[in-house]
Amino acid sequence: MSDETNLPPKQSPLHAEHLKLGAKMIGFGGWNMPVFYSSILEEHQAVRQRIGIFDISHMGQIRVSGPSAERWLNTLLTNNLERLQTSEGQYTMLLNEQGGVIDDLIVYCRGSNDYFLVVNAAKIEEDFDWMQSHLAGEVALSNLSDHFAALAVQGPGSAELLRQFGDLPSRNQIQEFRIQGIPVLVARTGYTGEDGFELFYPAAAAAVVWNHLLDVGASLGVKPCGLGARDTLRTEVCYPLNGSDLSPTRTPLEAGLGFFVDLEKPEFVGRAPLLAQKRAGLRQRLVAVKSDGKSPPPRAHYGVFVDGAQVGELTSGTQSPSLGIGIGLGYVDVPYTNPGQKVEIDVRGRRFPATVEKKPLYKKRC
């Protein structure tokens, strides 16, 4: 995702802690965040093998409550909220009238008609404005983003670390913990393909929880991790990044996210164009590709070719630290989207062979 605004970048409530740890900072979604502390590769491996802790305070939190909250939210989001029990979360999307993706997010049910939405940093205002302009019924909407610090604690050792503070939620569940006396919402979710948790708590206590987890986790090999590793980890497991793999001109069906769209719901914004697209058939689909051999790392906007003709374009790409080879995601014409399809990726005018693969590209050893 690029920084399109000219506003000065926002700082996380953990900014001073990042500088103390020697983080290299970059702009991301209007924020100044750590890209790495020591090395993207080391941080990536820490998450795959032990535990990594990411500051994700740039992400937004929106509360939706009131007697009409469930019914109303269900007309805006693609997934079906009626399937959600209290303390459960679900991955879902907010679409525009054309069926394109405004944002992908997780909605947690905190009680009857009480929802907690976690949205992408660059989309906080846009999501909130969109929701406000579509308000109907008795709904209270509040943007709590500035009040929350957020951490992602990810990796095979993360359960052992967090177990010390309470009974762990199961996958996609959310629970309230106390860490150093501070109320912390702990959800068993993540963006890395590993077991992991996302923590939401008052921004004023940002450093207390962050430092405590780093201290207590030291013996478990915990490492602070930046957005660089977050990106390589999510690309390996083919989780889309909004602004790169998802956009207002691409639908969830093209992105392969149909599982999170309930077309049986009577109405939600974007439903009609999705049904029409489903009837007409897709022109392109988001696929995962893997380089066949040594090549420069695939990157967003590189062309994808078959028999010398362009059939698509990458939207993400990197050198996979776990697989030791180039990987990417990209939209490709449907006839060339079957796993095993041989393609070529154009890197600065040179073509490198690659293969369409089944998602995810990396599967954790169980």
316 is a contact residue toward another protein (CB under 8 A):
no
Does 253 sit near another protein (CB under 8 A)? no
For position 332 contacting another protein by CB under 8 A, the verdict is no
One residue of 2, 19, 24, 132 binding another protein per CB under 8 A: 24
Among 11, 39, 180, 247, contact with another protein (rule: CB under 8 A): 39
**Residue 61 in the binding site for another protein (CB under 8 A):** no
Q: How far is CA 253 from the centre of its chain?
A: 17
Strands 51-55 and 222-225: parallel
Burial of residue 254 (number of CB atoms within 10 Å: 0-12, 13-18, 19+):
buried
Size of the site for another protein (CB under 8 A): 18
Measured from the CB atom, the residue of 281 and 293 that comes closer to another protein is 293
Concatenating the DSSP letter of every residue in 30-62 gives TEEEEEESS-HHHHHHHHHHSEEEEE-TTSEEE
40-65 burial code (b ≥16 CB/10 A, e <16): beebbbbbbebbbbbbbbbbbbbebb
Determine if 258 is a binding residue for another protein (CB under 8 A). no
Stretch that binds another protein, among 4-12, 97-105, 240-248, 318-326 (CB under 8 A): 318-326
State the Cα angle at 54 between 52 and 56, rounded to 5°.
155
Told to check if 89 binds another protein by CB under 8 A, we report no
Stretch that binds another protein, among 32-40, 103-111, 140-148, 214-222 (CB under 8 A): 32-40
Tokens representing 77 are: 């989001």
The distance of closest approach from Cβ of residue 147 to another protein in the complex, given in angstroms and rounded to an integer, is 31
| Residue choice 63, 290, 299, 359 for contact with another protein (CB under 8 A) | 299
Kindly report the CA angle at 302 between 298 and 305, in degrees rounded to 5? Answer: 100
321 belongs to the binding site for another protein (CB under 8 A): yes
Residue 27 binds to another protein (criterion: CB under 8 A)? no
Q: Which DSSP symbol is given to 85?
A: P
Burial class (CB in 10 A: 0-12, 13-18, 19+), 267: exposed
What is the Cα–Cα distance from 85 to 83, expressed in whole angstroms?
Answer: 7
Q: Which residues pair with 151 in a beta bridge?
A: 55, 199
Residue 150 binds to another protein (criterion: CB under 8 A): no
Q: Is residue 35 part of the contact set for another protein (CB under 8 A)?
A: yes
Question: Which residue number, 252 or 330, has a Cβ lying nearer to another protein?
Answer: 330
Site residues for another protein, 193-232, by CB under 8 A, read 228, 231-232
CB–CB of 94/76 below 8 Å?
Answer: yes
Give the range of 75-83, 182-190, 216-224, 295-303 binding another protein by CB under 8 A.
295-303
Cα–Cα distance for residue pair 236/64, rounded to 1 Å: 33
Indicate which single residue of 9, 11, 32, 41 sits in contact with another protein (rule: CB under 8 A).
Answer: 41
Is residue 78 a contact residue for another protein (CB under 8 A)? Answer: no
CA-CA distance, 6 to 260, in Å (whole number)?
Answer: 34
109 lies in the binding site for another protein (CB under 8 A):
no
297: contact with another protein by CB under 8 A: yes
Residues that bind another protein (CB under 8 A): 24, 35-36, 39-41, 228, 231-232, 294-297, 299, 318-319, 321, 348
